[in-house]
Amino acid sequence: MAMIIERDCQKTIGACPLIFVALKSTTDFTDTVQQRKSNMNVFCYQCEQTVEGTGCYLCGVCGKTEKVAHLQNLLTAWAKHIAQTATQMLQRGNSSEIIDSFFINALYSTLTNVNFNEKEITKLIFLADHILQLTEYLSTENNPEYQSSLEEQILQSNEEPTEDQIEELVGQGKAYSIATKQNEFGPTIAGLQELILCGLRGTAAYTFHSLELHKKFSDRSRLELKTLTESLKKTKARDSKEKEKKAALQSKINSVTSLLTEWGQKERHLLDGIITELAFLANESTDLNEYLDSALRVGFLNLEAMELLEKGHIQNFGIPEPSVVRLSPIQGKCILVSGHNLKDLYDVLVLTEGKNINVYTHGEMLPAHSYPLLKKFKHLAGHYGTAWQNQQREFDAFPGAILMTSNCLQQPSESYQDYIFTTGPVSWPGIKAIQRDSKGRKDYSPLIQAAFDSPGFFKSKGNEKITIGFGADAIINIWDQIQKAIQQKQLRRFFLIGGCDGSCSKRSYFTDLALAIPNDCVIITLGCGKFRFNREVFAPLPSGLPRLWDVGQCNDAYSAIRVVQFMSEQLNCEIKNLPISIFLSWFEQKAVAVLLTLLALNIKNIRLGPTLPAFLTPDVLNMLADRFGLNLISDPQTDLADCLKK
């Protein structure tokens, strides 16, 4: 069982800051902090929907319990502690997939709306003991056989926690609360620590998905290399045709090998960077500039994670293309796939092909309909529902089985809790999780059976559709039309409205903004925030170009960045001088990671809202405002008028 990491934890648990809608003085901030009571059961301010915008004290508005909160804090502390030893391991050139997996799972599992299961989090804490031993060994030694032996022991360990063990670890976790950090370091440094940690959690989520896709691509590529190598051996090159064939085979082998090597090297750099920044947090600096530098490094790491994820999507499913998606249900049995993991969707599509089950996407899975390989499945019937915060109502009305593949899980209602399944790090107590078989493959048979047991849609309804799939490649392919529209004064400005959605009433700002944007401007959107306005009708430009370009998921911010960089090159001007205004809808850690990426690329004058993260103090906000021109949204008409002046 895991033992507590040694630390001075006798400090009084302090108060927590109010959220800011405008920059305040540090004195006002400190006074506000002192007004808060110190007897809270739990404190979390990693998402935007906290109680009164300040932080959750008794339990999370997301459904997170006091026990889960303290266990997540302890798991995070373990991850940072192990990272210090892991950096020594990396300096020796050693690594382990099991260690990498632990860090990614520990960070991803503590992201908002992912893992609410105290037993599953406790298992990760138990695992930390073994991971630390392996990391300590690899920081001083390098014996492949002994390393394999240690890794095998870890893989076989799966201790089920008792209630007493959970309670003990919950008690240990209280020593690592955010309030404790605020007392020890002050609210500004504690807030910067949380900013970096949030960025790392978002980056870890994207990395998790890219690693799965890389494995799928690598497995397929290794089989291809085996076939190509066997064909090369059989080719004798006795005449010119055979010589050409042999040369072509060798070229293909070199190309696939090079791609695998490049991808592997980029993954290693990304994983090493995540570990290094965790170790930085564990070192507990008191220098504000060092924290800001770390935050920007995390921004670059997230850029790498999103690049690898885009590469994984394209290598496995093809290049996204403009596509029409049906929003109305079709008669028949059905499965709904929500979250972000396209590989899970692909696996479900393969296993349900020919079974008379229609598969629908939900939330951030909408972009799946723009990938050529996924579109080939005739039973990928369309998209159902809107953004994550509406899932309880929408899932309740869905007459089939539901699969939650990533973050954004809400407490399942009784009406559908027998028909919803989770996979990967996602977990809710009492909800069935997709298990792996003896060969390590996910067994979706319970999900499919649940679809058969459900009534399905009795009849088809309506024929509502929208168009998606305006990724970087699609936009670059029509650049001549875009440039012509700019030259002919038909296209004045681009508005990028991206990020997370949520239930806060102030998020109507983004709907009002989108609808107020003039007809000679284009809206580029990504993330689930687009569900605020993506069903609205936007008249096309005179040239026929559409005015709403849906780039994709939140991670497709990388695709949007590619577009901005391409525009900068084609228009021969710096990014800051481009006719583009950026509005970021903030909610949780993925949006934080994307924001840090934009700041790392020195993209300035971003407008952020509807409210700011509670962990950003006035000192930090002033630093970001001075260096990057970061603005808070005000009202749509004022912000729009300001943008159109430029």
- Per-residue confidence (pLDDT) for residue 42, from 0 to 100: 56
- Per-residue confidence (pLDDT) for residue 470, from 0 to 100: 96
CB neighbours (10 Å) of residue 288?
A: 14
Tokens of 132: 């630390």
Question: pTM score, two decimals?
Answer: 0.91
Residue ranges in 157-186 assigned as alpha helix (H): 163-173, 178-185
H/E run at residue 154: helix 144-156
- Angstrom distance (rounded) from CA 551 to CA 322: 10
Residues 227, 209: contact at Cβ < 8 Å? no
- Angstrom distance (rounded) from CA 480 to CA 580: 18
- Per-residue confidence (pLDDT) for residue 16, from 0 to 100: 28
Give the up-direction half-sphere exposure of residue 413: CA atoms within 13 A in the CB hemisphere. 11
Supply the Cα-derived Rg of the chain in whole angstroms.
25
pLDDT digits (tens, 9 = 90+) for 595-618: 999 999 999 999 998 887 778 888
Tokens of 26: 């540090």
- CA-wise closest residue to 205 among 457, 485, 425: 425
Buried b (16+ CB within 10 A) or exposed e, 447-461: bbebbeebebbeeee
- Per-residue confidence (pLDDT) for residue 544, from 0 to 100: 92
- Per-residue confidence (pLDDT) for residue 237, from 0 to 100: 74
Residue ranges in 353-431 assigned as alpha helix (H): 372-375, 391-397
pLDDT digits (tens, 9 = 90+) for 320-330: 999 999 999 99
Residues 382, 325: contact at Cβ < 8 Å? yes
pLDDT digits (tens, 9 = 90+) for 42-58: 577 777 676 666 777 66
- CA-wise closest residue to 21 among 614, 502, 628, 643: 614
Residues 633, 609: contact at Cβ < 8 Å? yes
- C-alpha distances (whole Å) from 214 to each of 264, 267, 375 are 9, 9, 21
Taken in order 226, 231, 234, 236, is the CA torsion positive or negative? negative
- CA-wise closest residue to 303 among 202, 175, 394, 404: 202
Pairing relation of β-strands 323-326 and 465-468?
A: antiparallel
Roughly what angle, to the nearest 10 degrees, separates helices 187-234 and 26-34?
100
- Per-residue confidence (pLDDT) for residue 342, from 0 to 100: 97
Cα angle: 444, vertex 264, 366; to 5 degrees: 45
- C-alpha distances (whole Å) from 371 to each of 175, 200, 325, 468 are 47, 28, 12, 10
Cβ neighbors of 361 (< 8 A, separation 6 or more) are 336, 337, 338, 345, 368, 369, 380, 382, 383, 384
- Angstrom distance (rounded) from CA 621 to CA 600: 16
- Angstrom distance (rounded) from CA 217 to CA 79: 29
Cβ neighbors of 260 (< 8 A, separation 6 or more) are 218, 221
Cis before residue 187, ω within 30 degrees of 0?
Answer: no
- Angstrom distance (rounded) from CA 407 to CA 409: 6
- Per-residue confidence (pLDDT) for residue 3, from 0 to 100: 40
Query: Which residue matches tokens 């596509």?
Result: 323
Q: Which residues of the chain have pLDDT under 50?
A: 1-40
- Per-residue confidence (pLDDT) for residue 52, from 0 to 100: 61
- Angstrom distance (rounded) from CA 285 to CA 610: 31
- Per-residue confidence (pLDDT) for residue 142, from 0 to 100: 85
Residue 4, φ and ψ in degrees, nearest 5: -65, 140
Residues 375, 345: contact at Cβ < 8 Å? no
- Angstrom distance (rounded) from CA 429 to CA 64: 11
Give the DSSP letter of residue 527: S
Residue ranges in 405-468 assigned as alpha helix (H): 445-453
Tell me if residue 196 falls in helix, strand or coil. helix
- Angstrom distance (rounded) from CA 144 to CA 47: 42
Residues 208, 589: contact at Cβ < 8 Å? no
